[in-house]
Amino acid sequence: MKLLVTGGAGFIGSNLVEKLLEDNHEVVVIDNFNDTYDPNQKRDNIKIFLNNKKVKLYEIDLRNKKDLEKVFKKEKYFDFVFHLAGIGGVRPSQLNPNFYYEENVIATINLVEIMKNYNCKNLIYFSSSSVYGNIDKTKFSEKDITDTPVSVYAGTKRSSEIMLYNYYINYGFNIAIIRPFTVYGPRQRPDLAIHKFTKRILNDEEITVYGDGTMLRDYTYVSDMVEATIKTLNYINNNDTNIYEIFNVASSNPKTINEMINIIEIILNKKARIKYIDKPIGDVNKTFGNITKAKKLLNWKPSVSFEDGIRNFIDWYKDNEK
């Protein structure tokens, strides 16, 4: 198949591109290499694939509809689009809401409008577990009401989910929405906690923890995330009718921040110096994904334990430390 991956030079995107190429698909990557974190890391993520004749890279910004249309005009068609492009980060979104809206909502509208015009109607969209906010549930289910996001970032993701329903109901799109829960592993963004804490502990630097470290996070290893995405692709292909589905992708085995730090300490055989500070606005108290639907409809379940995943990340970090 011929597949488009937006944000394909990023953390999850580059791992997905790697798997799609292994499966012998033709892959077109779009990324704007913005500076929300070091663009050189994203270039390192993708450069290992660029000698493969089955991959093409377009360095464009999805907010520029004319540039995006040029890609579709040149490539003529795509069997599927994986839309991972966008700006992550709960706390920074509170400081720059317009930027987040443009990157996460306007860019998505531009993409599906051009997909519609070129009769490309299969989309897998990467949303976020942040859309659940601080709902009063033990586990978060896809059926739960998600009308109370507590960050601008979560609001942009939920806005896009709602907007995409319009393309399913009115234009015959197949829309599968994946809600990832705290993905980690090789190539992880440097601003995320596991990456940041590993670096600081190795360098004997103090780490900052928001709150008292008891916040729960449901961590998902990146290869499990990629496998769920491939199974979502197969699910759409095997359906005779148009679909609009939402899938939680999580370990469904959350850890506290303190537990996460302790596992890193054990693997590194180094003690962290921790400074606890007040929790900022926008942070949710916990994430805990119910993955019953993904197990049933996608025949997917996570396979990498948290300890093994942390060990894999640390091995990658040491090999790639600059």
> Where residue 78 sits, what CATH number does that domain have?
3.40.50.720
- What is the tens place of the pLDDT at every residue in 10-21? 999 999 999 999
pTM: 0.95
How far is it, in rounded angstroms, from Cα 238 to Cα 55?
25
Grouping H, G, I as helix, E, B as strand and the rest as coil, residue 82 is strand
- What is the tens place of the pLDDT at every residue in 93-137? 898 999 999 999 999 999 999 999 999 999 999 999 999 999 888
Largest CA distance in the chain: 56
Q: 273: buried, middle or exposed (CB in 10 Å: 19+, 13-18, 0-12)?
A: exposed
**Active-site residue, selected from the candidate residues 100, 153, 221, 317:** 153
Token pair 């921790």: residue: 274
Q: Residue 322: pLDDT above 70?
A: no
Bridge partner list, 206: 273
153 is catalytic: yes
pLDDT confidence of 80, banded at 50, 70, 90? very high
Split into its structural domains, the chain has a count of 1
How far is it, in rounded angstroms, from Cα 4 to Cα 29?
6
312, part of any domain: no
Give one DSSP letter per residue of 193-222, joined into a string. Answer: HHHHHHHHHHTT-EEEEETTS--EE--EEH
Region of 43 (left: φ > 0; alpha: ψ -120 to 50; beta: rest) is alpha
47, part of any domain: yes
- What is the tens place of the pLDDT at every residue in 133-172? 998 888 999 999 999 999 999 999 999 999 999 999 999 9
Residue 283 has what pLDDT? Answer: 80
Order the strands of the 2-6 sheet from edge to edge. Answer: 55-58, 26-30, 2-6, 80-83, 122-126, 174-180, 244-249
How far is it, in rounded angstroms, from Cα 41 to Cα 9?
9
234, part of any domain: yes
224, part of any domain: yes
How far is it, in rounded angstroms, from Cα 77 to Cα 137?
42
139, part of any domain: yes
- Cα torsion angle, 234, 239, 243, 247, sign: negative
Q: What residues make up the domain containing 81? A: 2-188+219-252+288-303
87, part of any domain: yes
The angle, 0 to 180 degrees and rounded to 10, between the axes of the packed helices 306-320 and 257-268 is: 60
The DSSP letter of residue 279 is P
- What is the tens place of the pLDDT at every residue in 232-271? 999 999 988 899 999 999 999 999 999 999 999 999 999 9
108, part of any domain: yes
94, part of any domain: yes
